[in-house]
Structure 1
Amino acid sequence: MPLDLSSRGTATDAVTVDWDERDVLLYAVSVGAGQDPLQELVLTTENTEGVTPEVLPSYGGVLAQRVLRPDIGPYDRSKLVHAEQHLVLHRPLPVAGRLSVTARVGEILDKGSGAVVWTETIAVDPETGDAVVSSRSASFIRGEGGFGGDRGTSEAWEPPSPRPDHVVPLVIRPEQALLYRLNGDRNPLHSDPAFAARGGFDRPILHGMCTFGFTCRALVATVAGGTPSALTSIGGRFSSPVWPGEELTVEVWQQGQQVWFRTVRADGVVALDRGRATVAGG
Structure 2
Amino acid sequence: MPIDVAKALAAEPATVELCWGHKDVQLYHLGLGAGAPATDPGELRYTLESKLQVLPSFATVAGGGMAIAGGISTSGIDVDLAAVLHGAQAIELHRPIPVSGAATQTSKIAAVYDKGKAAVIVLRSAAADADGPLWTCDTQIFVRGEGGFGGERGPASRLDLPEREPDRVLERPIREDQALLYRLSGDWNPLHADPEFAKLAGFDKPILHGLCSYGMTLKAVVDTALDGDVTRVRGYRTRFAGIVFPGETLRIRAWQLDPGRIQVSVTAVERDDAPVLADTLIEHT
Same structural fold, with TM-score higher than 0.5 when normalized by the shorter chain: yes
Residue 63 and residue 28 in structure 1: after superposition, are their counterparts in 2 closer, same or farther (change >3 A)?
Answer: same
Does structure 1 residue 53 correspond to structure 2 residue 52? yes
2:264 counterpart residue number = 261
2:95 counterpart residue number = 91
Number of residues paired by the alignment? 274
The letter of the residue matching 1:175 is D
The letter of the residue matching 2:128 is V
Residue 141 and residue 132 in structure 1: after superposition, are their counterparts in 2 closer, same or farther (change >3 A)?
Answer: same
| Fraction of identical pairs, as percent | 36
CA distance in structure 2 between the partners assigned to 1:274 and 1:60 by the alignment: 20
Superposed CA RMSD in Å reads 2.0
Give secondary structure in 2 for the equivalent of 1:120. strand
The letter of the residue matching 1:166 is R
Contact 2:174 2:247 (8 Å CA) reproduced: yes
CA distance in structure 1 between the partners assigned to 2:190 and 2:143 by the alignment: 16
Give secondary structure in 2 for the equivalent of 1:28. helix
Give secondary structure in 2 for the equivalent of 1:37. coil
Residue 253 and residue 270 in structure 1: after superposition, are their counterparts in 2 closer, same or farther (change >3 A)?
Answer: same
The letter of the residue matching 2:55 is L
CA distance in structure 2 between the partners assigned to 1:64 and 1:219 by the alignment: 25
TM-score normalised to structure 2 length: 0.89
CA distance in structure 1 between the partners assigned to 2:12 and 2:179 by the alignment: 30
TM-score normalised to structure 1 length: 0.90
CA distance in structure 2 between the partners assigned to 1:72 and 1:201 by the alignment: 31
CA distance in structure 1 between the partners assigned to 2:163 and 2:227 by the alignment: 21
Greater share of helix: 2
Contact 2:192 2:207 (8 Å CA) reproduced: yes
Contact 1:239 1:270 (8 Å CA) reproduced: yes
TM-fit CA distance, 1:159: 4.7
Does structure 1 residue 15 correspond to structure 2 residue 20? no
CA distance in structure 2 between the partners assigned to 1:102 and 1:64 by the alignment: 13
The letter of the residue matching 1:62 is V
Structure 2: segments with no counterpart, 5+ residues: none
CA distance in structure 2 between the partners assigned to 1:237 and 1:163 by the alignment: 21
Contact 2:14 2:108 (8 Å CA) reproduced: no
TM-fit CA distance, 1:276: 0.7
Does structure 1 residue 124 correspond to structure 2 residue 128? yes
Give secondary structure in 2 for the equivalent of 1:104. strand
Does structure 1 residue 74 correspond to structure 2 residue 74? no
The letter of the residue matching 1:155 is S
CA distance in structure 1 between the partners assigned to 2:192 and 2:83 by the alignment: 13
2:216 counterpart residue number = 214
